[in-house]
Amino acid sequence: MAKATADLAKVCTVCGIDYLAYLEESRACSRRCRLRLWRATQPRPLRRSPGEARGRKKPRTPEQRTYDTRWMREHYRMKSAENREEHLSVRRAYIEIAKSRVGPEAWKRRTKAYNLKKYGLTLGAYEKMLADQLSGCAICGKAPTSGRPLHVDHDHETGRVRGLLCSKCNQAMKAVDAYPEWPLRAQSYWLRHQAREG
């Protein structure tokens, strides 16, 4: 152990000032000079280019870029497909549990009521509209086939419900909403071809 002396005069090897050292092996006058001295004895790190110092990667070749882009697309597609399958399996399991709790008929009614809610209709209002239309489509009058309910036809701008339609008439009404002159043009087209055939 070094001997402590009260009157040991020394010269700082870092800043060059005279100071009274506490220990014989002392070479620096202050904590700051000791730190500078310690740093000077440490090995220097390798000099890097400015780009490497900022953490930039080396520029990739066009082939690497193409490969990386293709890999990311495939990976994203695969992961999204996996997530979709997982989400659908969880949803199916939930639906099966809910059906078993309330019963299939009650589940159908509940689902139907939930779907009608976005049009501002209740199940009672839907059944009343269906009775007013004699349980058939408002345009062609055909009853729904294969147990599927009639579609709720509504104005997409105002949201007002117009009536209940079968699938074909509902698709035709989409064309009418997009092109209001479509029915007149379709009728004139049909009559023109009827005249040619007749």
The CA distance from 156 to 85, in Å, is: 32
Q: What is the pLDDT of residue 22?
A: 74
CA torsion sign, 178 to 183 to 188 to 191? positive
Q: What is the CATH number of domain 123-197?
A: 3.40.1800.10
Q: What is the pLDDT of residue 135?
A: 85
Q: Give CA torsion, residues 136, 139, 142, 144, to 10 deg.
A: -60
| pLDDT tens, N- to C-terminus, the chain (198 residues) | 444 445 578 888 888 888 787 777 788 888 888 888 888 887 766 665 555 555 556 666 777 777 677 777 777 777 787 788 888 888 888 888 888 888 888 888 888 888 888 888 888 888 888 888 888 888 888 887 766 788 888 888 888 888 888 888 888 888 888 888 888 888 888 888 888 776
**The whole model's pTM is what?**
0.46
Q: What is the pLDDT of residue 56?
A: 58
At residue 7, what are phi and psi to the nearest 5 degrees?
A: -120, 45
Which of 182, 171, 172, 166 lies closest to 190, judged by CA? 182
The CA distance from 151 to 138, in Å, is: 10
Q: What is the pLDDT of residue 3?
A: 47
Show the tokens assigned to 68: 């990386």
**Three-state SS letters, 125-165:** HHHHHHHHCCCCCCCCCCCCCCCCCCEEEECCCCCCEEEEE
Q: What is the pLDDT of residue 49?
A: 57
Which segments within the chain are labelled E, that is strand? 4-11, 18-23, 151-154, 161-165
The CA distance from 164 to 168, in Å, is: 12
Q: What is the pLDDT of residue 54?
A: 55
Q: What is the pLDDT of residue 65?
A: 72
Ranges of each domain in the chain = 7-41, 90-119, 123-197
The CA distance from 105 to 147, in Å, is: 13
The CA distance from 46 to 57, in Å, is: 17
